[in-house]
A and B are shown apart, each in its own frame.
Chain A
Amino acid sequence: MKSPRSYSRIFIALVILLVAVFLVNVSLGSVSIPFSEVFKGLTGGEVSKSSWHYIIVDYRLPKAITAILVGSGLAISGLLMQTLFRNPLAGPFVLGLSSGASLGVAILILGAGIFGGMLGGWLTSSWSLVIASALGSFLVLLAVLAVTLRVKDTMAILIIGLMFGSVTAAVVAVLSYFSNAEKLQQYVFWSFGSLGNQSWSGIGILSICTLLGLFIAVISSKSLNALLLGENYARSLGVRLKRTTLLIIISTSILAGAITAFAGPIAFIGLAVPHITRQWITSSDHRVLIPSVLLFGSIIMLICDTVAQLPSSEYTLPINAITSLIGAPVVIWLLVRKRKLIF
C-alpha cells in the first residue's frame, strides 16, 4: 500500500529543483549580475553596486516570489476544479472568476474613457487595478455561491460558471467597442498578465490569500478523495456534499481571485499543471497530489518567468504567452508519449 510517505523522495527532489530554478530565475535578467553577488544580495550581505542590490532585492526577488505564489495557487485551484467537476478540461477560471476580474478592470480602464473624469484621476494608483479586479471576481463568486446553494447538480454549477463568463466577456466587448486605442492598449496589457512590479505589501496580501486557499484545500483532501468515487459513494462515506462543494469553490475563488487581481488573468497553468503532475505521480490520492501539484506549479511558473524576461535583453515578453508557448508542447508531448490521458 503506497502511503504519502513513500513519495517523500519525489518531494525532496522537487523541492531541490524548486530551489535551483528559483536561484536561476533571480540570477538572470536584463542586467547581468555575477551569481556570487546575487547570493550575497539574497542572504543580506553587502552587494558591490547599490543598483544591483536594488535590482535583486526590490525587483527580481519579489517577482520570483510572486511567480511561486501564482504558479502554486493556480495549479492547486485547477486540481480542485478538475476533481470537483470530474472534468479534465476544468481549470481555475471555469467558474468565471477571471471574466469577473476582466470586467472589473475593463470598467475601470475602458469605462473611464467613456464615462469621463470621475474615474480618470483614480486610475493612476497601482492599487486601483487590483481593487477593480478583486471586486469583479468577488461579484462573480457571490453569484456562483448563490447558484451552488440552489442547484442540486454539480455539473449545473460548471455550465452556469461558463455562462457568467460569456456575459462578462460580452460586456467587455461592448466597452472595448466604444473605447479609444490608448485605453484599449492599456486593457490588453493588463490581460497579458504580469508578475513584476509587485510591492511588498501586495505580496504580503497575495501570500495570505494563497495560504488561506491552500489551507482549505488541505483540510478538504479527505473529501476530495471520496469524491473520486462519485457523489453518491462520497455521501455514503459520510461526506457532507454541499459543505464540501462550498469549501472547494471558496478555496478556488480565493486563490484564483487574488492571483488575477495581482498578476492578471494568467492562463494555462491551472489547467495544465495537474495533468503534467499526474503523468509523473500515478497516485490519485490528494494527500500526495496537492503537494506535488503545488511544487510543479511553482517550478513551471518560475521557468516560464525566466524565459519571459529574455535573459540579457531589455525586453520582457508577456507571461501569458510564455505559459502557453512552453506549457502546451509539454502537455502534447506527454500525452503522445504515454498515449493516454491519466485522469
Chain B
Amino acid sequence: MTITDTHRILKAQGLSIGYSSKKAKHIIADRMDFEFREGELIGLVGANGIGKSTLLRTLSGMQKALEGEVYISGIALSSYPHSELATQLSVVLTEAPSSKNLSVTEFISLGRQPHTNWLGTLSDLDKEMILWAMEQTDTNEIKDRKCFELSDGQMQRVAIARALAQDTPLIILDEPTTHLDLYHRAYILKLLKRLANDTSKTILFSTHEIDLAIQLSDKMMVMTPDSMVMDEPCNLISGGHFEDLFPKDSIYFDTKTGRFSVK
C-alpha cells in the first residue's frame, strides 16, 4: 500500500461539486470518488455546460466543494495554505493574461513566484527552470516577443511553459485546445503526453477533442448528466460510456474508429 500511496498525486473522496447560494444548493456532480497517479495524462470530456470547468475549479482550489474532500499529495485541499498549494498545483486557464504587454520571458518567469523571495528575485535555479520550460515548449525563439504579438497556438505554448516553470507535480489545463487548428490541437496534446511521460507530472486537461483525447490520454473522465466515469479510454469505449456523452438525435459514437460521426 505504501508504494501506491506515494505515487498517488490527487484523491477525491465523496466529492460533490456545484454552486450554493443562501436559498439552495445546485449540485452539478454528486459523490465522486477518483484518484490521479504520478505521470498520468488525464482527459476530461463532457458536453457544454455539464460542469467540466466547475470540476477543474474545485480540484484546483478556486471554488469550494459542496461535500467531500480533495487530497493533493496527501493533504486536504481545504487545509492548504495558499502559498503551499502553489508549489503542488499549477493551472493553465482559458483567459488571456490581463496585461498583453508582458513579454514571453516575463510571462513564463512569473511561474517561479511560489519559489522566489518577497521581491520575486530570480535565482540561478529559477533561471534554469525557466530555460528548461522554454525548451520543452519550443518557446525559446519567441521569448522576446510581447504577448499581443503571439498567435493562439504560440500563446498556449507560452501558458504551458509558465505552468512548467512553476514546477508542480500536478498541472490542470482548462480546454487548452480551444481556438487552435487541427495541427496545433494535436501538437499541444502530444506535448502534454510527452511531458506526463518524461517528467512524471500528472496532467489533467478538459477538452472537446474526444478522438484525440482517446488516442493520447492514459485515462479519461467522462462527465454525463447522471454520472462521472473514470477509466482507461479502451475500457470506456467497450463499456459504451461515450454514447451517453451527447443527445442521440444528430451524432453517434462509432466504437470501431473511436470517434463521433454525423447520423
Interface positions of A (Cβ within 8 A of B): 1-3, 86, 219, 221-222, 225-230, 232-233, 235-240, 278, 283-285, 287, 342-343
Q: Is B118 an interface residue (CB 8 A)?
A: yes
Structural contact, A236 and B86, CB atoms closer than 8 A: yes
Q: Interface centre among B111, B114, B119, B130, by most A CB within 10 Å?
A: B119
Residues of B with Cβ closer than 8 Å to A? 60, 62, 82-87, 89-91, 93, 95-99, 101-103, 105-107, 109-111, 113-114, 116, 118-120, 122, 127, 130, 166
Give chain A nearest CB distance to B54 CB in angstroms.
Answer: 14
Contacts of A225 in B (CB 8 A): 110, 113, 120
In the complex where A285-B106, A287-B119 touch, is A232 in contact with B82 (Cβ < 8 A)?
Answer: no
Q: B86 to chain A: which residues have CB within 8 Å?
A: 236-238
CB neighbours of A287 from chain B (8 A) = 119-120
CB–CB A1/B127 < 8 A: yes
A160 CB, nearest partner CB in chain B, Å: 20
| Bound: A63/B89 CA distance, A | 53
Given the known A-B contacts A222-B119, A226-B110, A237-B166, are A232 and B93 also in contact in the complex, defined by CB atoms under 8 Å? yes
15 A-B residue pairs with Cβ-Cβ distance under 8 Å, sorted by A, are: A1-B105, A3-B122, A86-B98, A225-B110, A228-B98, A229-B110, A230-B98, A236-B89, A237-B110, A237-B114, A238-B85, A278-B101, A284-B101, A284-B106, A343-B101
CA distance A232 to B119 in the complex (A): 20
Of all chain B residues, the one with the shortest Cβ separation from A2 is B105
Q: Which residues of A contact B87 (CB under 8 A)?
A: 238
What separation, in Å, do the CA atoms of A270 and B109 have in the docked complex? 29
- Please indicate the chain A residues that have their CB under 8 angstroms from the CB of B120 in the complex: 221-222, 225, 287
Most buried by A among B91, B95, B102, B110: B110
B102 touches A284 (CB 8 A): yes
Pick the contact of B113 from A1, A3, A238 — CB < 8 Å? A238
Contact residues in B for A283 (Cβ distance below 8 Å)? 106
CB pair A284 B99 closer than 8 Å: yes
Cβ contact within 8 Å between B113 and A237: yes
Compute how far the CA of A229 lies from the CA of B95 in the bound complex, rounded to whole angstroms. 9
Indicate if the CB atoms of A228 and B99 lie closer than 8 Å. Answer: yes
Query: In the complex, are the beta carbons of A232 and B95 less than 8 A apart?
Result: yes
Residues of B within 8 A of A230 (CB): 93, 95-98
8 Å CB contact of A219 from B101, B118, B122: B118
The listed residue with most B CB atoms (<10 A of its CB), out of A219, A225, A287, A343, is: A225
Measured between beta carbons, the chain B residues less than 8 angstroms from A86 are: 98-99
Q: How far is the CA of A229 from the CA of B107 in the complex (A)?
A: 8
Q: With the chains together, A104 CA to B84 CA distance in Å?
A: 45
Contacts of B116 in A (CB 8 A): 222
Which B residue sits closest to A241, measured CB to CB? B82
Residue of A226, A227, A236 near B91 (CB, 8 A) is A236
B82 to chain A, nearest CB (A): 5
Known: A1-B105, A236-B90. A226 touches B113 (CB 8 A): yes
B102 and A221 contact, CB distance less than 8 A = no
A106 vs B97: C-alpha distance when bound (angstroms) = 43
Shortest A290–chain B CB gap in Å is 11
- Minimum CB–CB distance from A72 to chain B (whole Å) comes to 20
Q: Which residues of B contact A342 (CB under 8 A)?
A: 101
